[in-house]
């Protein structure tokens, strides 16, 4: 694993985890509503789910998609329905006050982790990562662990920026009307991510 390899994987990770998608839109909304600290379980859930997914792809799960396209289609349908449900929840979220914000519950680590398995962007990312950067030499399991872990380390900083961006936006929203507009916009943006799934 040369310096060029590490640099290439880092650039790939930044481009994949730093660009808009279902996870980052939801992290922006969560950061605005709950702050960065309460969004951390969501972040760690994304990382855990993606890590397991990447390892599964590296160990042969990706071959199932090639042999049985119906599995991929099923995941797309489930992912689209769940994403629309999350979009509706975000859009309908009431303007937060201190009491409501303390009692409200952001997405849990478990929910965020499970979502990765119906998130087509995560599958595309995992398949491209393993196909493009998996070293040909050395033990398969060790290579998969190193590659997946490095992807997650770089990705952590990228997705954290989206949650931090949301938190900064949340501090600018001073009125219930501004919050309703923001929540509606985040709901629409989340729903728009269904386009990534069905195409």
C-alpha 190/C-alpha 185 separation (Å) is: 9
Residue 6 lies in a domain: no
Per-residue pLDDT reduced to its tens digit, 83-133: 777 778 777 766 665 445 555 678 899 999 998 988 878 887 888 888 788
108 falls within a domain: yes
The answer to whether residue 28 sits within a structural domain is no
Domain-located, residue 3: no
Q: Is residue 106 part of a domain?
A: yes
Specify the number of domains making up the chain. 1
Tell which wins on pLDDT, 188 or 165. 165
Beta carbons within 10 angstroms of residue 33's beta carbon: 25
Q: Report angle CA 45, 46, 48 to the nearest 5 degrees.
A: 65
Reported as a single tens digit per residue, the pLDDT across 136-166 is: 788 888 989 999 999 999 999 999 999 999 8
Name the residue range of residue 129's domain: 38-198
Residue 189 lies in a domain: yes
Q: What is the value of pTM for the model shown?
A: 0.77
What angle in degrees, to the nearest 10, is found between the helix axes of 120-133 and 69-91? Answer: 130
């Amino acid at each position: 694993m040369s310096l060029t390899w590490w640099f290439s994987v880092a650039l790939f990770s930044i481009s994949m985890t730093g660009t808009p998608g279902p996870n980052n839109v939801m992290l922006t909304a969560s950061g605005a509503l709950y702050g960065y600290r309460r969004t951390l379980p969501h972040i760690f859930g994304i990382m855990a789910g993606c890590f397991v997914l990447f390892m599964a792809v590296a160990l042969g799960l990706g071959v199932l998609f090639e042999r049985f396209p119906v599995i991929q289609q099923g995941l797309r349908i489930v992912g689209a329905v769940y994403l629309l449900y999350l979009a509706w929840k975000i859009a309908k979220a009431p303007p937060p006050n201190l009491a409501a914000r303390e009692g409200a519950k952001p997405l849990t680590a478990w929910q965020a982790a499970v979502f990765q398995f119906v998130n087509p962007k995560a599958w595309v990312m995992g398949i491209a990562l393993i196909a493009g950067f998996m070293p040909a030499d050395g033990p398969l399991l060790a290579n998969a662990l190193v590659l997946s872990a490095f992807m997650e380390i770089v990705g952590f900083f990228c997705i954290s920026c989206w949650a931090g961006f949301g938190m900064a936006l949340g501090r600018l929203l001073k009125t219930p009307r501004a919050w309703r507009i923001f929540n509606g916009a985040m709901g629409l943006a989340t729903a728009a991510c269904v386009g990534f799934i069905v195409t």
